[in-house]
Amino acid sequence: MTQTHPHLHTARAILNRLIAFDTTSRNSNLELIDHVEAMLTAAGARCQRIVSPDGAKANLHAFIGPDIDGGVVLSGHTDVVPVDGQNWTCDPFDMIERDNRLYGRGTCDMKGFIACALAFAPAFASAFAAGSLKRPIHFALSYDEEVGCLGAPAMINSIMKQSPKPAIVFVGEPTNMKVVTAHKGLFSMRVCVQGQAGHSSLVNDGACAVTHAVPMMQYLVDAAANMKAAAPEDSPFDPPYGTLTIGRVQGGVAANILAAEASFDTLVRPAPWDDTDALETGLRDLAGRIETDMKTGAPRASITIDTRSDVPAFSREPDGAAERLARQLTGDNATHVVSYGTEAGQFQHAGLSVVVCGPGSISQAHQPDEFIEIDQMDQCCVFMERLVAHLER
């Protein structure tokens, strides 16, 4: 492969260093944030950390350029998924090259994009110093994306409360540098039913937690059918409707004992037209009625519903500014949507114009021997170079 872009060597070196930080979501990302913040500060960026409530992790927002609204955000998450139980043929945190591919945990998802963005920080700074950068470039690096997009909301809130406010966001998840304009969301709940153990013949003296969990699960099964029926005929998704599954159920010790406890987890991947607020409200209303019935025979009975993730779907914007610019920078004019989730919906919900576009293939994400094609890194460098030129106009 011919490595055509002069910034590719720098991007690869940065990626090599980023991979060495084990930022699996269960770990702190602060060492990586320290490293990246030092790089951006050296390039002249103004940096701000948005620290997690426990202080163990941080988002990083930085920008280079004039203090005016209307800039562009390069968004990426710093955490990676675990390698536990995966059969790697190389050290996942020591990047290697084989067959024009760069192997390591996070190369594709999504430190490759972050490395390309950082490689161009000096170019953005030089343009600003020369007085040619008309709008700022923002870097938005989050934590805990892989466990429910938990870190980004506080960072987005901070960005939108300060000046300069950006207008466009490029979320650099792996899309093979194609322009993705919509995706499904992620919404999950855990339902826990506390009943009262007793003999199975004495149903009036206890509250069987499993029995009372069933109507709530049936409500969700019916909701899944309604989501399927509500999908428009021209839905671009695969499958074309939002999905709802109950992935875990626990409870009971024997058929002849009223179950003292039961719990189940449900996960929804809503399409942009699905209403998860109404879904949750309906479930909570039903749970309240069931809990009242349970307390008749078991005064200490209770039902709790914990919303564990709530990541909005990402909708295509009619004549969206981010889409127009991304197509200009990539030359991609086809329509692409995906069923996996990103932080794009969170940025969009804050009022920003968003697309998802980054190097690498989602088929490599979360896999053993994760890799990114060097050519994809090269294409991303070309994208960044064109972005510099665009912001100079």
Catalytic center residues = 79, 145
Q: What's 207's DSSP letter?
A: B
Peptide bond into 239 cis (omega under 30): yes
Phi, psi of 158 (to 5 degrees): -65, -45
* Radius of gyration over every alpha carbon of the chain, rounded to an integer in angstroms: 24
Q: Look up residue 142 and give its two tokens.
A: 């989050």
Cβ proximity of 181 and 339 under 8 Å: no
Q: What is the Cα–Cα distance from 387 to 126, expressed in whole angstroms?
A: 14
Residues pairing with 351 in the sheet: none
Cβ atoms of 295 and 236 closer than 8 Å:
no
CA-closest candidate to residue 189, choices 279, 267, 111: 267
- The dihedral through the CA atoms of 62, 65, 70, 72 has a sign that is negative
Pairing type for strands 96-98 and 101-103 reads antiparallel
Are the C-beta atoms of residues 151 and 54 closer than 8 Å to each other?
A: no
Query: Taking the CB of residue 139, how many other CB atoms lie within 10 A of it?
Result: 25
Please give the Cα distance from 41 to 4 (Å, whole number): 28
The answer for residues whose C-beta is within 8 angstroms of residue 370's C-beta and 6 or more apart is: 92, 103, 104, 105, 106, 107, 108, 109, 364
